Amino acid sequence: METKNIMIVGVGGQGSLLASKLLGNLLMNKGYDVKVSEVHGMSQRGGSVVTYVRYGDKVYSPIIDKGEADIIISFELLEAARWVEYLKPNGTIISNTQEIMPMPVIAGTAKYPENLVEKISALGINIVAFDALSLAKEAGNAKSVNIVLMGAASRFFDFDDEAWQGAIDRCVPQKFLELNKKAFELGLNVKVD
């Protein structure tokens, strides 16, 4: 099969490493060749972060380039907008509608753009956007936004529920298991138009 490209984007500290670990684990378990490329170090400190997940029969490059992503999973709305150019013309964006102000906006030197979901949609891009933060709180912890979004994204993959649950079991520490399973389910059941 042709290599599939998934990007997980967000703000440093939102838990993209666990999300990519989950996906990487599932894909390896399914027998695919997998590469996951992460960012560590300075940019993690509240900066814009991106993780690339690629899978297929044989994967070479660890990164995803402009025009290559099948799916972009975004933990924050501005970050979804930032990476639009990386999407394939027929790709899909799954995004949290939460807005986290970047420092130039807080400092008053830049504006947080308005109506981003509509603007992305107007390009003919399939975008699924919802309030993942509220669902994460409903699951029991605002920090489970990452798993809520993975739940919502899971329907765009051809893997059964068992495969996802197995990956969660293998990647999440025991004491957070119940919380994360609930977060995943809430994401999975999000209504999409």
- Whole-number minimum distance, CB 10 to another protein, in Å? 10
Look-up: residue for tokens 């298991």?
177
Q: Cβ atoms within 10 A of the Cβ of 143, count? A: 17
Angle between helices 177-188 and 145-154 (to 10 degrees): 50
Q: Does 173 bind another protein (CB under 8 A)?
A: no
Whole-angstrom distance, CA of residue 182 vs CA of residue 140: 9
Six-digit token string for 20: 């990519």
Looking at the DSSP assignment, which residues form a beta bridge with residue 10?
49
42 interacts with another protein by CB under 8 A: yes
30 binds another protein (CB under 8 A): no
Among 4, 30, 47, 188, binds another protein (CB under 8 A): 47
Place of tokens 């004491």: 175
Rg (CA), the chain: 16
Binding mask 124-153 for another protein (x = CB under 8 A): xx-------x--------x-----------
Instruction: Copy the structure tokens of residue 190.
Output: 């999000």
The distance of closest approach from Cβ of residue 47 to another protein in the complex, given in angstroms and rounded to an integer, is 4
Span of 7-15, 154-162, 173-181, 183-191 interacting with another protein by CB under 8 A: 7-15
| Residues that bind another protein in the complex, under the rule CB under 8 A | 11-13, 20, 24-25, 28, 33-48, 59-63, 65-68, 78-79, 81-82, 84-87, 89, 100-113, 116, 119-120, 123-125, 133, 142
